[in-house]
């Protein structure tokens, strides 16, 4: 998974909307599929998107750390931004340029002076629901905020994500062709809209 971890400061805090407390940005990451037809972890009216970008926040009002918040019912808030194949997205370029430095598993590289909110769509209309993480341990600890509008990503940009390797440097190269969890049934969850 291509992700970036954030320091615990007050510069990237999420408040309002469906949230009654403050949530601090911890990291952001991307999900994609093996083709351009799917890769998102959410759908809209059954329509799949090419990928999805997540901004992961933890409840810094009630908890002292991400590790403490992750298993709590009100512990996390994740903004999901759907990505559809279209023209290249210049706002993704700094992220894509950094991928070359972390091509293999366990590689780390500095990633500074980047504001992930620049990747949000211009309209901030959203759907929200209470749900779970999309990877183990699947805690039911997330207030999901899914942006109504998607952002563009070109086929070439998606291919750069797929070129990341799940193997360490020196081992046989195994590209990460997909890293998404297929959309799950709502199971009685209520989805509300801000618009």
| Cβ-contact 26, 46 below 8 angstroms | no
**Is 70 exceeded by the pLDDT of residue 76?**
yes
- Residue 109 pLDDT grade (very low, low, confident, very high; cuts 50, 70, 90): confident
Cis peptide before 148 (omega within 30 of 0): no
pTM of the model: 0.93
pLDDT at 1: 43
Which domains are assigned to the chain? Answer: 3-193 (3.10.200.10)
| Cβ-contact 59, 76 below 8 angstroms | yes
Question: What tokens were used for 18?
Answer: 């469906």
Q: What is the pLDDT of residues 139-188, one digit of tens each?
A: 999 999 999 999 999 999 999 999 999 999 999 999 999 999 999 999 99
Average pLDDT for residues 32-61, to the nearest whole number? 97
């Amino acid at each position: 998974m291509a992700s970036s971890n954030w320091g615990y400061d007050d510069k990237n805090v999420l408040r309002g909307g469906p949230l009654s407390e403050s949530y601090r940005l911890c990291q952001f990451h991307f999900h994609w599929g093996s083709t351009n037809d799917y890769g998102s972890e959410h759908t809209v009216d059954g329509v799949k998107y090419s990928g999805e970008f997540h901004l992961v926040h933890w409840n810094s009002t009630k908890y002292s750390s991400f590790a403490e918040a992750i298993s709590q019912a009100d512990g996390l808030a994740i903004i999901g931004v759907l990505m559809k194949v279209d023209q290249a997205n210049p706002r993704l370029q700094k992220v894509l340029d950094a991928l070359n430095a972390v091509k293999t598993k366990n590689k780390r590289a500095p990633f500074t002076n980047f504001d992930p909110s620049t990747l949000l769509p211009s309209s901030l209309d959203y759907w929200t629901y209470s749900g779970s993480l999309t990877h183990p341990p699947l805690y039911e600890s997330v207030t999901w905020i899914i942006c109504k509008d998607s952002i563009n990503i070109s086929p070439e940009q998606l291919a750069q994500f797929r070129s990341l390797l799940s193997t360490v440097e020196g081992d046989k190269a195994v590209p990460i062709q997909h890293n998404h969890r297929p959309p799950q049934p709502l199971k009685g969850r209520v989805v509300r809209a801000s618009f």
